[in-house]
């Protein structure tokens, strides 16, 4: 029994054996088919003959994915750790909407969240440069989280105040029906999306809009500056250190070549054989 | 009397004691309620039964905030320094609109400026990494102020000339009613907001618009470059120095570990116990 | 015969001799005329007297370019290597649409792909700084391909999920006719283009749109950060090395001044006399 | 006579003496009034009583500026060098439109180009940090001119090909009336302006538009990367060198402290007393 469990673990969690790789490719094909199916369904008219086939196919995919999720939980050593990991949550979210659709008919469209499972793609095909690229981006984003959060908070406050000002200046007769709606306009303007569904009509409103645009133009530079600086830093560090291992847990670098555990937090550095710990 | 004053100061300006912290959280809750109330009010129809409650609640909040502002002025050592500080101005602006609304009925929506008071959030919960992130961003913005100002001046001149050209080319019959309006169009285009409410109709106008877009595409890079370079510089400097203290007054770094005053400008480095000096 | 072939090769592939240069300029003029012609044709009414002239002129240009392509294939040492190179493919694509137009009348507009041939411009006029600038950009883009690909994959997944959510929230009655269309809206929003042809109508839809805009605002910084870091890296490396030669094949630098082959991959560093190897 | 000429030169070209400064401020006030006047004129209805006053005021300003331009030409040592310099051309362009308006009535709006003369502002008030900031930006832009030009060329070629494809796919019935117009759409999309006046209607058109948006999203990073890298480089260089003088002519740095002429090109480094040579 234990050997079967270990064998199942090898097949569904790793992509080193021929069978394990075949299983991963099989799941990837199913994900692609399933995502394509939901898109195709939304393109066809309701109550057509095709709708029946879509319905059965979707339940088919969901049952296979449910079985797979059960096998993953059963075969892994620490089921709870897997269930809380990024992929564990994605694997669960990928099957929930179909069951939910028994209660809320529209919910089954949300199985498009299955697309997230396709991120495993990089691991299956051993595209290590891509995993490396992704990890570098995630580390850079993670390290800049404090600054990004402060920036986001500042944006929310700016939008609140600009929205209130615009609501007072333009008022409901010019399409700024309430303060949340005026805040929505402020966000559409400051992010330079500019749908054009609500626009200031008065001279004062246009002057405020001009200020908001100039402000948006200036502060769009701030997140870019933060991310660039971190990515640049990653590249410089990566070039200077001979050992390129980064701790998946705390991001520490500068490990010795034979190190298997992070010298800062003790987490395993052995990425290949420890799939649940991977960020991507 | 003096000891009461000192005690009040400790409660409302600092968040180190249990009572001080409770006071800050109480004010934060009031701010959130007050901001939510104004938004909710703009969503409900006029003259409804709810409007009365909104009216009384708003005056309630304003009276509490006025009392708090008075206590702050009374308890602080240098009332004028506090009144001129960033938070002093915000605390005043947060109560003025309600009183103004006695004269101008629409003004009370502007109490959304109270949202700015929520910036104290970071200090209350000792989120030092965030205060650090914010200070770093403010320092980077401050150091690039000359270049940003020159850039802003250049944008204004470009918009003036492009607006005049567009007014001559397109004229009033195509929606470019006057030069300020054509300048507004130029700003909407150069910042890539692109509402689409006024658009060039003639071939010559479209060619000028194309040039403006290409220009906007190129020069959006300039503020980004300025900010990125400064943020990058901050990160490199921060990594090379062992002492990470930055002077709040002049931005100097490289202080000794036991330094309590800036080696460049003599301002106190003791951020925690000097709340009025904080930028954020 | 062999000497004629070598002479032809010198004239059409190189721009060092007077005749070779004259040939290149002649082809450049033909390209410009041909591109201008197709644009002019689309501006004139159908079945007019001018259409005949356009038709004959286009066939004239196509026959000249076909002859030139044949001469190139004949005179070059390794025809297959040329045919597979960037310019070989462009030279072929520049003549195919006219022949295709015998089957599909609209196809001949695609000869605007001839514009790509104008890239030879930089080589003809020995604008080495520009070739250098272009190669630097291409190297920076090439080195960031893994990270850009991961980022692109993440964008596609985000758009899929946001599109599905929006389709469920807004539905067909508000213009989100199907999931691919809702994904198109998500892309228009996240890239800050914001046409404004479909916009969320419900409060929930506007909140999701706000989140998407903030997300777009934040992640627009990621590709910028990646490219900037690589360009910056190029500039720093270029300044530190005395020999500025970069291998066209693998991008290695740090070659000795008399090096003619890459010390890393053995590819020829002799750009001037090896035109087929050029990236631009 | 010669001493009068020298005195006039001192007054109108320099801002070191009280009279020279007064003259500069007087001209600055005239520029501001004149620019405000043209804007105000475009806001008032035609043939009103005010139009007469606008007409006389404009001729008054133009005559003063013409006299000033004549005095500048007369008093400067090398009139031709001044006339060809940035400010020489701006000073001329600032008076030409009024004379042109005798032939073309609409031309007089173009005197808004006078706004460019306000750039002298920075010099008058000795705002050296701003002049420095501006020079740094201009140097960074100048040094990245090759890469920016290559990038601009690439954008033009991309727009041509995308425009042709879109014209074939969507055609005249969907608003893509001709290839130049489809190219205009491509530019509006790739720069993320997104007016929304022409939008693809077919599925194929929307897919091409999606690709163009993703491309625009990726390549908006390129100019940003180029400029950032150069600005960053300026900051690092500026910090490492003790002498911060940069040659106005060729951008060389690393001059000795007592250097008065550029060690690379021999141009004067003496910015203060050599106003015609200034870039800004």
Provide DSSP, C168-212: HHH-GGGT--SHHHHHHHHHHHHTT----SS---SHHHHHHHHHH
A123 vs C contacts (CB less than 8 Å): none
- Helices within B94-220 (DSSP H only): 96-100, 121-124, 128-143, 145-170, 179-190, 203-219
Q: Is a pLDDT exceeding 60 seen at residue A265?
A: no
Q: The tokens of B88 are what?
A: 């002093």
Lowest mean pLDDT among A79-88, B176-185, D259-268: D259-268
Lowest mean pLDDT among A183-187, C91-95, C110-114: C110-114
Per the CB < 8 Å rule, is C192 touching A193? yes
Nearest-neighbour CA in chain B from A189: distance (Å)? 6
Can you name the residues that pair with C268 across neighbouring β-strands? C261
C130 vs D contacts (CB less than 8 Å): 146, 149-150
Please, is A144 exposed, middle or buried when counting C-beta atoms within 10 Å of its C-beta (0-12, 13-18, 19+)?
buried
Nearest to B228 among A147, A171, A225 (CB): A225
Confidence band of A245 (pLDDT split at 50, 70, 90): low
Lowest mean pLDDT among A52-66, C114-128, C210-224: C114-128
pLDDT digits (tens, 9 = 90+) for D39-89: 888 887 665 677 788 888 889 999 999 999 999 999 888 888 888 888 888
Q: Are B31 and B68 in contact (CB under 8 A)?
A: no
Can you name the residues that pair with D261 across neighbouring β-strands? D268
pLDDT value at position C229?
Answer: 77
pLDDT digits (tens, 9 = 90+) for B97-139: 889 888 887 777 787 888 888 777 766 665 666 777 777 778 8
DSSP type of residue A265: T
Give the C:D interface size as CB pairs under 8 Å.
Answer: 135
Q: Are A190 and A152 in contact (CB under 8 A)?
A: no
Q: Which residues of B touch C (CB under 8 A)?
A: 192-196, 224, 228
Can you name the residues that pair with D268 across neighbouring β-strands? D261
Give Rg (Cα) of chain B: 25
What's the rounded Cα separation, in Å, for the pair A280 and A142? 14
What's the rounded Cα separation, in Å, for the pair C115 and A161? 49
Nearest to D187 among B203, B213, B224 (CB): B213
Confidence band of C280 (pLDDT split at 50, 70, 90): very low
pLDDT value at position C256?
Answer: 46
Q: The tokens of D197 are what?
A: 């006046």
Q: Is a pLDDT exceeding 90 seen at residue A132?
A: no
Can you name the residues that pair with B261 across neighbouring β-strands? B268
What's the rounded Cα separation, in Å, for the pair D93 and D174? 42
C193 vs B contacts (CB less than 8 Å): 194
Per the CB < 8 Å rule, is B196 touching A194? yes
Can you name the residues that pair with B268 across neighbouring β-strands? B261
Q: What ipTM goes with this model?
A: 0.79
Q: Is a pLDDT exceeding 70 seen at residue C22?
A: yes
Confidence band of C186 (pLDDT split at 50, 70, 90): very high
pLDDT value at position C265?
Answer: 56
Nearest Cα neighbor of C72 from C61, C59, C60, C85 is C85
Q: The tokens of D51 are what?
A: 């139009």
What's the rounded Cα separation, in Å, for the pair D241 and D256? 10
Nearest-neighbour CA in chain A from D180: distance (Å)? 24
Select the highest-mean-pLDDT range: A42-46, B169-173, C59-63, D230-234. C59-63
- Helices within chain C (DSSP H only): 2-13, 18-43, 49-75, 79-84, 86-93, 96-100, 121-124, 128-143, 145-170, 179-190, 203-219, 221-240
Q: Is a pLDDT exceeding 90 seen at residue C207?
A: yes
Phi, psi for residue A63 in degrees, rounded to 5:
-65, -40
Confidence band of C261 (pLDDT split at 50, 70, 90): low
Cα-based torsion angle of the residue sequence B127, B129, B133, B136 in order, rounded to the nearest 10 degrees: 110
Give the residue-averaged pLDDT of C97-126.
78
Nearest Cα neighbor of D90 from D112, D74, D63 is D112
Q: Are C159 and C187 in contact (CB under 8 A)?
A: yes
Chain C: residue whose CA lies nearest to B196:
C195
Q: Is a pLDDT exceeding 50 seen at residue A280?
A: no
Q: What is the mean pLDDT of chain C?
A: 79
Cα-based torsion angle of the residue sequence D150, D151, D155, D156 in order, rounded to the nearest 10 degrees: -30
Confidence band of B51 (pLDDT split at 50, 70, 90): confident
Residues 6 or more apart whose Cβ sits within 8 Å of residue D32: D118
DSSP type of residue B14: -
pLDDT digits (tens, 9 = 90+) for D216-260: 877 777 887 787 777 777 766 665 544 445 555 555 555 544 455
D178 vs C contacts (CB less than 8 Å): 39, 42-43
What's the rounded Cα separation, in Å, for the pair A192 and C223? 18
Confidence band of B246 (pLDDT split at 50, 70, 90): low
Residues 6 or more apart whose Cβ sits within 8 Å of residue A57: A37
Nearest Cα neighbor of B42 from A183, A184, A178, A171 is A178
Give the residue-averaged pLDDT of A207-218.
88
Nearest Cα neighbor of A213 from B155, B191, B227 is B191
Nearest to D224 among A192, A193, A224 (CB): A224
Nearest to B184 among A157, A163, A206 (CB): A206
Please, is C67 exposed, middle or buried when counting C-beta atoms within 10 Å of its C-beta (0-12, 13-18, 19+)?
exposed
Confidence band of C69 (pLDDT split at 50, 70, 90): very high
Nearest-neighbour CA in chain C from A115: distance (Å)? 6
Confidence band of C257 (pLDDT split at 50, 70, 90): very low
Q: The tokens of A273 are what?
A: 């054989």
pLDDT value at position A268?
Answer: 59
Provide DSSP, D193-227: ----SS---SHHHHHHHHHHHHHHHHHTHHHHHHH
Q: Is a pLDDT exceeding 50 seen at residue A242?
A: no
Nearest Cα neighbor of A165 from D99, B66, C90, B112 is B112
Nearest Cα neighbor of A175 from A209, A199, A207 is A199
Give the A:D interface size as CB pairs under 8 Å.
Answer: 9
Q: Which of D143, D195, D225 to mutate to test the interface with C (most CBs of C within 10 A)?
A: D225
Between vectors from CA A143 to CA C155 and to CA B245, what angle results, nearest 5°?
Answer: 150
User: What is the number of residues in chain B?
Assistant: 280
What's the rounded Cα separation, in Å, for the pair A212 and A163? 10
pLDDT value at position A15?
Answer: 74
Nearest to B228 among C192, C194, C228 (CB): C228
Q: Are D227 and B224 in contact (CB under 8 A)?
A: yes
Give the residue-averaged pLDDT of B223-233.
78
Confidence band of D184 (pLDDT split at 50, 70, 90): very high
What's the rounded Cα separation, in Å, for the pair D207 and B175? 32
Q: Are B43 and A182 in contact (CB under 8 A)?
A: no
Q: Which of A152, A221, A226, A228 to mutate to test the interface with B (most CBs of B within 10 A)?
A: A221
Higher-confidence position of A29 and C237: A29
Lowest mean pLDDT among A49-58, C125-134, D41-50: C125-134
Q: Which letter, b or e, does each residue of D46-72 get, where b requires 16 or more Cβ atoms within 10 Å of its Cβ?
A: eeeeeeeebeeebeebbeebbebbebb
Q: Which of A179, A209, A241 to mutate to test the interface with B (most CBs of B within 10 A)?
A: A179
Confidence band of B275 (pLDDT split at 50, 70, 90): very low
Cα-based torsion angle of the residue sequence B232, B233, B235, B239 in order, rounded to the nearest 10 degrees: 140
Give Rg (Cα) of chain D: 25
Could you tell me which chains touch chain C, where touching means 3 or more CB pairs under 8 A? A, B, D
What's the rounded Cα separation, in Å, for the pair A75 and A10? 9
Higher-confidence position of C142 and D125: C142
What's the rounded Cα separation, in Å, for the pair C195 and D192? 9
Higher-confidence position of D241 and B217: B217
Residues 6 or more apart whose Cβ sits within 8 Å of residue C226: A137, A231, C144, C147, C148, C151, D221
Nearest to D213 among C106, C181, C191 (CB): C191
Nearest-neighbour CA in chain D from A196: distance (Å)? 8
Lowest mean pLDDT among A104-118, B110-124, B207-221, D242-256: D242-256
CA distances to C116, C121, C141, D17 from C128, rounded to whole Å, are 19, 11, 20, 48
Q: Which of C208, C225, C231, C254 to mutate to test the interface with A (most CBs of A within 10 A)?
A: C225
Q: Is a pLDDT exceeding 90 seen at residue D267?
A: no
pLDDT value at position A248?
Answer: 54
D196 vs A contacts (CB less than 8 Å): 195-196
What's the rounded Cα separation, in Å, for the pair D12 and D52? 31
Q: Is a pLDDT exceeding 90 seen at residue B258?
A: no
Q: The tokens of A212 are what?
A: 């908001």
Give the residue-averaged pLDDT of A44-66.
82
pLDDT value at position B122?
Answer: 65
D193 vs A contacts (CB less than 8 Å): 194
Q: What is the mean pLDDT of chain B?
A: 79
Confidence band of C183 (pLDDT split at 50, 70, 90): very high
Give the residue-averaged pLDDT of B143-160.
84
Q: Is a pLDDT exceeding 90 seen at residue B183?
A: yes
Between vectors from CA A112 to CA A111 and to CA A116, what angle results, nearest 5°?
Answer: 110
């Amino acid at each position: 029994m234990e050997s079967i469990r270990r064998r199942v673990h090898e097949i569904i969690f790793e992509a080193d054996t021929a069978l394990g790789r075949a299983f991963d490719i099989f799941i990837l094909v199913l994900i692609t088919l399933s995502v394509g199916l939901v898109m195709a369904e939304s393109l066809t008219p309701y109550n057509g003959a095709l709708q029946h086939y879509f319905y059965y196919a979707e339940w088919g995919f969901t049952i296979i994915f449910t079985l797979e999720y059960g096998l993953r939980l059963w075969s892994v050593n620490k089921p709870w750790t897997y269930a809380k990991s990024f992929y564990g949550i994605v694997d669960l979210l990928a099957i929930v909407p179909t069951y939910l659709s028994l209660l809320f008919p529209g919910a089954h469209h949300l199985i498009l969240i299955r697309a997230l499972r396709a991120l495993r793609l990089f691991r299956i095909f051993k595209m290590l440069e891509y995993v490396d690229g992704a990890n570098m981006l995630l580390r850079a984003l993670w390290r800049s989280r404090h600054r990004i959060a402060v920036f986001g908070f500042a944006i929310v406050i700016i939008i609140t105040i600009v929205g209130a000002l615009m609501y007072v200046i333009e008022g409901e007769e010019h399409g700024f029906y309430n303060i949340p709606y005026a805040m929505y306009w402020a966000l559409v303007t400051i992010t330079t999306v500019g749908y054009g569904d609500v626009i200031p009509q008065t001279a004062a409103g246009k002057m405020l809009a001009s200020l908001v645009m100039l402000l948006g133009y200036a502060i769009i530079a701030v997140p870019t500056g933060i991310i660039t600086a971190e990515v640049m830093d990653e590249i410089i560090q990566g070039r200077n250190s001979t050992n390129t291992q980064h701790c998946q847990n705390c991001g520490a670098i500068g490990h010795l070549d034979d190190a298997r555990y992070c010298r800062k937090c003790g987490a395993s550095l052995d990425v290949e054989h420890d799939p649940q710990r991977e960020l991507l």
